[in-house]
Amino acid sequence: MGDVWTWLISFFFLIALVGIIVYQLVCLADLEFDYINPYDSASRINFVVLPEFILQGTLCFYYLVTGHWLMTLFCLPYLFYDYQLYSKGQHLIDVTEIFNLLNREKKKRLFKLGYIILILFLTIFWMIYSALDDYDD
């Protein structure tokens, strides 16, 4: 029974991550179509970058603690990539160069989004699986 809860919690984690990334994408898209200025766009995105990383790290740790080491493995590349960005100081958006980086930043986030959604599906699958398992028991 506990397993379902585990999956359910990680499911919310993932939904939050998806929300954060979609928010960043929306900011970038707004910038591209000139709805907001680069200063606002950059500060809004930079405001949620660290929470995103922390959330992601927590999720990974959570999987590890709850014993789902396979999912941990799935999360690790993402975490490693984030860590790399952070250690190079490239995790924040550079407001002065934002327009030159726009496409790359968008692509980056789209990949992240795809990855997260993949993990989300896995999680949902495991959640349903374990729920059915519980039911069978």
Partner 1 sequence: MGTENPGYPIFPARPTSSPFASSPPSAMTQQSGRPAGGSETSGFRPFPPSTSQNTRPPASGLVPPSVAPNTIPSQAPVPPFGSRMPLSRPPPPPSVSSPPTAYAPPGGGPFQRFPTPPFPTAAQTPLPVPPMGPPPAQTLPGQLSSPPVSFRSQQQVPPVPIGSSSQSFTSGLPGANPSQPTGDSQSFAPRPGFQQPFPPTSSYSGGAPLPGFPSKQINAIPPAPAVSFSPTAQSVVLAPPSTVAPYPPHQGGFAQPPALAAQQNLHPGYASPISNVQGLVEDFSSLSVASVPGSLEPGLDHKSFPRPLDGDVEPNSFAEMYPMNCPSRYLRLTTNAIPNSQSLASRWHLTLGAVVCPLAEAPEGEEVPLIDFGSTGIIRCRRCRTYVNPFVTFTDSGRKWRCNICALLNDVSGEYFSHLDSTGRRIDLDQRLELTKGSVEFIAPTEYMVRPPMPPIYFFLIDVSISAIRSGMLEVVAQTIKSCLDKLPGYPRTQIGFITYDSTIQFYNMKSSLSQPQMMVVSDLDDIFVPLPDDLLVNLSESRSVVEAFLESLPSMFQDNINVESAFGPALKAAFMVMNQLGGKLLIFQNTLPSLGVGRLKLRGDDPRVYGTDKEYALRIPEDPFYKQMAADCTKFQIGVNVYACSDKYIDIASLGTLAKYTGGQMYYYPGFQSSVHGDKLRHELARDLTRETAWEAVMRIRCGKGIRFTSYHGNFMLRSTDLIALPAVDCDKAYAMQLSLEETLLTTQTVYFQVALLYTASCGERRIRVHTAVAPVVADLGEMYRQADTGSIVSVFTRLAIEKTLSSKLDDARNLVQQRIVKALREYRNLHAVQHRLGSRLIYPESLKFLPLYAMALSKSTPLQAGHADASLDERCAAGFTMMAMPVKKLLKLLYPNLIRVDEWLLKPSVGENDGFKDVLKRLPLAAESLDSRGLYIYDDGLRSVLWFGRMLSPDISKNLLGADFAAELSRVTLKEQENGMSKKLTRLIKKLREIDPSYYRMCHLVRQGEQPREGFLLLRNLVEDPMGGSTGYVDWIMQLHRHVQQNS
Contact residues: partner 1, CB under 8 A: 31-32, 34, 37-39, 89, 92, 94-96, 98-100, 102
Nearer to partner 1, 85 or 95 (CB): 95
Considering the complex, what minimum distance in angstroms separates the CB of residue 65 from partner 1?
35
Considering the complex, what minimum distance in angstroms separates the CB of residue 112 from partner 1?
22
- Cα–Cα distances in Å, from 37 out to 19, 30, 56, 98, 106? 22, 9, 28, 11, 17
Nearer to partner 1, 28 or 59 (CB): 28
b/e per residue, 95-131, with b = 16+ CB within 10 A? beebeeebeebbebbeebbebbeebbebbeebbeebe
Nearer to partner 1, 84 or 100 (CB): 100
Considering the complex, what minimum distance in angstroms separates the CB of residue 71 from partner 1?
34
Copy the structure tokens of residue 134: 């519980």
Considering the complex, what minimum distance in angstroms separates the CB of residue 34 from partner 1?
5
Copy the structure tokens of residue 7: 């999956």
Nearer to partner 1, 5 or 99 (CB): 99
Phi, psi of 33 (to 5 degrees): -95, 10
